[in-house]
Structure formats: structure tokens, C-alpha cells
Structure 1
Amino acid sequence: MEESPCKPDHGTCPEGGNGLPKISINLRPLDLSDIDAFMVWAVDKEVARFCTWEPYTCKEDGLSVIKEKVIPHSWFRAICIDDKPIGAISVTANSGNDKCRGELGYVLGSKYWGKGIATEAVKMVAEIIFKEWPHLVRLEALVDVENIGSQRVLEKVGFLREGILRKYNLLKGKYRDMVMFSLLSTDYNSNTEL
């Protein structure tokens, strides 16, 4: 059977080799009906380890976050297998003189780590976001120095490791060093006024 060409919001990734089948993923908006799938990764301590939020303890808190933060967000998508969310990915816009930059963030259920899914999702976003936001020149990602898996994901997609920002943020009561990664739009024309 011939495989159809990938759309920017659909992709395939290998499931860890060993002759296992490829996993087809898609990105779509997350909504309130996705609460049960959302809670699978939102309650997981390992998933939340490097995130700014603590693991959720109740469905009501998850519903509030989806309602108040996720749905109004300018670019937030669920990472899905068979249209079921297994994680999320977002690009947060900057404004004013910084509108040329956006910050990438993503989270994936621990059951799906190491299968190439996060890499494929980040790759899909990189292909989409510079087209959807033509003012965007630079996509950034800040990763905890201990989060080696996430650093590898970004490097596989072509993000450049720019350096370590020492004691850059306070995360769960501790000052953390962060690694700055960036990906630049290949379509940027420095002579274009925004």
C-alpha cells in the first residue's frame, strides 16, 4: 500500500526500531472533551518533573487549565495518535520588538517516550509555525540541563544549542540552569520591515 504524503499536521515516526510499525500522529486543538486523555499525562510525576506545573490531583483543575489557558492560547495543539491526545505542544508568541521570537513547549505521556513521537511533533510544528506566523523569525526552546531527552529531540529537528543560562528560573523551589535552543526561519529576509 502506498503511503500518502504527509500534511503539516500529520506525520509518522518509527516506534523505536526492531521492525515495529510506524506510529501516525496528528496535531489538533485540545478541548474539554479531551480531559480524560489530558489527565493521563497531567497526573504523572515523571512527565511533570521538568514542567512549571505540579502533577494535577483532580479533573476539575485540569478542566480549568484547558478552559482558561489552553483554549484561549494563540497556538496550542494536542499531540494525538488515532486522534487521542497523548501530549501537547505549543508556541507562545512574544509581542512588541520581540514579536520575531516565539517559545516552543511540549509535553508527552511517559508511555510514549523514546518512540520518536516528540521529535516528529516538533518537526511538524517547525514546518507549520513559520508559515502561519510570517512575522516569526526565531523559534526558541528552553530546556532544563538535566532533561537530556528533550535536548536530543530539539537537536534531531535541527535546533541549535546556543548555551546554558545559569540559574535562569525558579522551578519547584530550586534555581535551575536552562539550555537555550533556537531554530531560525529559512524564509526570513532581513531587509523586510515588519
Structure 2
Amino acid sequence: MTQKNKLLTLSSFNSQYLKHIWRDGFQDKNPAWTKWNAPYFNDYHAYPSFSQFEHSPITDYLLSDSCKCICLDGKGIGMVSKNWIDEVTRWLEIGIVIYNPTYWHGGIGSRVLKIWISEIFDQYPELEHIGLTTWSGNLRMIHLAQKLGFKKEAQIRKVRFYKEKYYDCMKYGILRDEWIN
């Protein structure tokens, strides 16, 4: 069965999903996903035991209303997030991480972000814009944003320094009336 034929859902995190995420994303010292998810911040922390992970600030964040678990046939494989840059002015940004590279390149990111963006626009009828920020070194994320119809709204040049090279901060956004899922 290809990844496109598997059941893809967004769910609140539970203990089972947290264990999946810990195994795929936070047990190893240098998992592949950390090379793409804002590596210039250098803030990744491995948790050798699930108990340590379960009591970490990361788990607190995953369990918050800001996140949902990406589930593929009942297995937690990643997370989507929404964060208010400024709730008063209704400025919200989204994010996505798929932890295990096995699930990269299969269309899961675009499928799940379509669900997530629709949920957010449904949940916040007053919201007119959803943003997404990445860096110029993450070409897959740039392609995904463009594929979903996001427009490049800003490119702040040479503000991300990683492995002795400068990268740009890339900001994308989509308006409610542009969103066609």
C-alpha cells in the first residue's frame, strides 16, 4: 500500500502518539529532521528515555492546543502547529514536522497541511491570513508552500547562519479567499 492510500488524520496527542514521536524524533542524538527544521537555532535536545521526553517542555507543547499529531494508519509520524504571532491583530503562523525520513517525499506534507489549513480557517472565521516561515536552505518546504498556493510575502536576506553559510528567512502566506482545498 502506498503512502497516498493510507489513512491520514490529525489528532490530539496521546501517550501512544508521544511514544511514536519520541522514537522517531527525539531518541537519537542527531535525527535527520533537525537538519531542516531551523537548524541554525541549534536547540535540539535528545531524550534517552521516554520518561524524560514525557516530562519535557516539548511534550508540554505537543499536548497544547497549538499542536496536533499527524497520524498515518494510526501511527504518530509528525506534528502540525499553529502559533499566534499577534492574536490581537489576528496574525497566525503554521508549521509542520514529519520526523522519520521514510515518510518524506510521499505527499503526506501537502495532504496534511490541506487538512490543517482548512481546520484553522474553519475554527477562526475572522482569520484572513495564515503564514508560514522557513529558510532558503529548506527547498522542500518552499516547494510545499508554493504547491499549496502560498505567496512569498518576504525574503529577509542572509539572516540565518548555518554551517558557515548565510541563508535567507522566507515568509509565505495565504489569504482565506485564496484558499482552495
Could you say which TM-score interval applies, normalised by the shorter chain?
Answer: 0.7 to 0.9
Distance of 1:173 and 1:29 partners within structure 2: 39
Instruction: Give the equivalent residue in structure 2 for 1:119.
Output: 110
Over the residues paired in the alignment, what is the CA RMSD in angstroms?
Answer: 2.7
Q: Which of 33, 39, 48 is the aligned partner of 2:16? A: 33
Structure 1 residues 62 and 171, CA gap change in structure 2 (3 angstroms): farther
Alignment of 1:59-78 (within 5 A): 59-63=50-54, 64-72=56-64, 74-78=65-69
CA distance in 1, matches of 2:128, 2:53: 33
2:76 aligned to which of 78, 85, 109:
85
Secondary structure class of the residue paired with 1:79: strand
Are the aligned partners of 2:159 and 2:169 in contact in 1 as well (CA < 8 Å)?
Answer: yes
Note the residue ranges of structure 1 that are not aligned, 5 or more in a row: 1-13, 16-20, 188-194
Give CA deviations for 1:158-193 in whole Å, capped at 9, x if unaligned: 111223112445779986421111011129xxxxxx
Give secondary structure in 1 for the equivalent of 2:146: helix
Query: Which of 46, 59, 71 does residue 56 from structure 1 map onto?
Result: 46
> What's the TM-score once normalised by structure 2's chain length?
0.79
Amino acid at match of 2:71: C
Higher mean Cα deviation, 33-42 or 152-161? 33-42
**CA 185–106 in structure 1, closer or farther in 2 if over 3 Å, else same:** same
- Relative distance call for 1:60 and 1:144 in structure 2 (3 A) is farther
Give 3-state SS (helix, strand or coil) of 2:177's partner.
coil
In structure 1, the residue matched to 2:92 is: 102
Deviation track 1:2-32 (CA, whole Å, cap 9, x = no partner) reads: xxxxxxxxxxxx74xxxxx623200001123
- Answer 1 or 2: which has greater helix percent: 2
Separation in 2, partners of 1:71, 1:45: 22
TM-score, normalized by length of structure 1? 0.74
Matched, 1:138 2:124: no
CA contact under 8 A between 1:138 and 1:183: conserved in structure 2? yes
2: CA distance, partners of 1:97 / 1:169: 28
Equivalent pairs: percent with the same residue? Answer: 20
